[in-house]
Structure 1
């Protein structure tokens, strides 16, 4: 008679998963419930008993299980991804914007994906359309300059994609817009410099194709005109929102025989370029030249002397935009959301020297 060989049964399936490696099936097995019940817990279904819900949540925390947003979207025929679309803003701006969006998404089950693009390239709208469809996005947040593109907004409506546009002026209905009031901020910078006694004033704008540049510079010039100060065209330089363009603009303005006693640059990077040019030319800030920037990036307080600038609460802008995107029905939003930047006076401005 042949002896039977007993093979031990594998217990691998019954072993607890390693932290961070658990699947929905593991959580269901450990909780003694079905996979469908775990899914209901994840999606806050009222059909789950409180004690079961608590047990599943405890196991998810213990084993570091986080549901995949893409998988959730497929299972429930909706996406749990929010896109942030941008075209070459400054690095600090996009970091602060992401922090604000993430503030609003926290504990909502939604996740953020980013999509940099080049709005000057032909076909960039088709690239954004593919991004939206491939990721099955719940919606997108558009920041300047792409937020100013009406063709892009129309393309998103065609594919039934929610969006919120962040811009200096209203371009859309209230439920799809967050306005940053750049013209008001530009006017505040002008009022401040004129109140110090400056009459020979220079302006370094951003690119003309950016509406923020038009609003900041336009508000600045209009406010000076109301105070009786005219800025000649030769005292206005079109920059590129870059440090290098700030240097070039300042060198041109400060080379004039009747050089400005103050310069307003439409972002902090260009204003930092003004510092560089002034240092090269032996012009003291703020004794011989007052400088005002825009954004209140960390750079502004790190420069010496600390820069007077317009503070744009970028993180709050991102938070509000994301909250607006997650609203149930954008058509029901009656009041357009907005934020108003304000001047932060530091050490880079003084009254002009006599004579």
Structure 2
């Protein structure tokens, strides 16, 4: 800051949080409206003016008041994350990605866990959105698959980004994770190793992710002449405990499968536990594949082969989508899965 402006700021006690938007405007020699446009990243401000105002704000340590900004714009500078997902690591990674996108944007992240099985959960989300005056919300599977929730958000005028296995909405509101393709890659890999007696531990049948992974996996095997009988399919709940219960059914049978595809890594960890208790060696006697490629996959022994879907990148894309101008036409955002091969699979004995 030039010496005369620094002295003027000090003379009026304009430092840090004591500074106001009017002070910044006066010291910069611009209007309050111009400062407001700089704060809100409006494209209507000339580059040299923007640089001057931003430099001044840094010099005096001025930080815009989020509440005041929200009152001025009749909304808060908050992005919501709404979820009903039993996998804690997924939620953490998604939040990190969202925070990556929101950093230095002036927006903050608030989270709202809910129970999508509750009859009043849509009204509960509605209350949350209206009370917080949210700028927009990110919908994470499983709630992202609920059309009633999306309809409610459109009704109240709240922007949203919808993360799902397939496209369920307009391109500007969709982030697609292509779960069918990830599962098909697992099928191709296991078949290439020579497995034909393959079992699945799926997620809840009502989840779109579980449906897409099932269809992708079974379809890819059928194209290679391999059928998956119903006795080799066990529905579970995307939790470690449900993986244990499912594995006990499959590995307790008279004839065990030579490979098991689990629809997430936590359920695969459940298979590891049951196999260890039964004296079944992985991968010598049983090949196991997971989904998500969470940190757990590389910590298991032997390290777990798993489908990587970059959850952090998914969160970043969803949050960035809500920061874009409304009505901007663009292609559907995609996050492509791919198989990470480790040591949990080998050809059957």
Matched, 1:205 2:202: yes
SS in 1 for 2:226: coil
Matched, 1:160 2:157: yes
SS in 2 for 1:293: strand
State the distance in 2 between where 1:170 and 1:213 align.
Answer: 15
State the distance in 2 between where 1:22 and 1:262 align.
Answer: 65
Q: Would you say the 8 A contact 2:24–2:57 is kept in 1?
A: no
Aligned to 1:320: 317
Give the Å deviation of 1:25.
6.8
Tell me the matched-pair count. 338
TM-score by length of 2: 0.88
SS in 1 for 2:255: coil
Give the Å deviation of 1:305.
0.6
Give the Å deviation of 1:158.
0.6
> Structure 2: which 5+ residue stretches go unaligned?
1-10
Match of 1:250 among 221, 244, 247: 247
Matched, 1:142 2:139: yes
* 1:199–1:47 Cα change, 3 Å: closer
SS in 1 for 2:325: coil
Aligned to 1:214: 211
Match of 2:92 among 92, 95, 111: 95
RMSD (Å), alpha carbons:
2.6
> Structure 1: which 5+ residue stretches go unaligned?
1-12
Aligned to 1:133: 130
SS in 1 for 2:138: strand
Matched, 1:291 2:257: no
Give the Å deviation of 1:132.
1.2
SS in 1 for 2:343: coil
TM-score by length of 1: 0.86
State the distance in 2 between where 1:271 and 1:52 align.
Answer: 53
Matched, 1:337 2:329: no
Q: Would you say the 8 A contact 1:69–1:111 is kept in 2?
A: no
Give per-residue Cα distances to partners, 1:222-268, cap 9 Å, x unaligned.
11111111111111111100001111111110011110110000000
Q: Would you say the 8 A contact 2:292–2:308 is kept in 1?
A: yes
SS in 2 for 1:178: strand
Give the Å deviation of 1:84.
1.1
* 1:318–1:32 Cα change, 3 Å: closer
Aligned to 2:7: none
Q: Would you say the 8 A contact 2:305–2:341 is kept in 1?
A: yes
Aligned to 1:10: none
State the distance in 2 between where 1:35 and 1:51 align.
Answer: 11
Q: Would you say the 8 A contact 1:176–1:330 is kept in 2?
A: no
Q: Would you say the 8 A contact 1:204–1:263 is kept in 2?
A: yes
* 1:262–1:72 Cα change, 3 Å: same
* 1:325–1:40 Cα change, 3 Å: closer
Aligned to 1:183: 180
* 1:66–1:265 Cα change, 3 Å: same
State the distance in 2 between where 1:27 and 1:349 align.
Answer: 66
Which range moves more in the overlay, 340-349 or 85-94?
A: 85-94
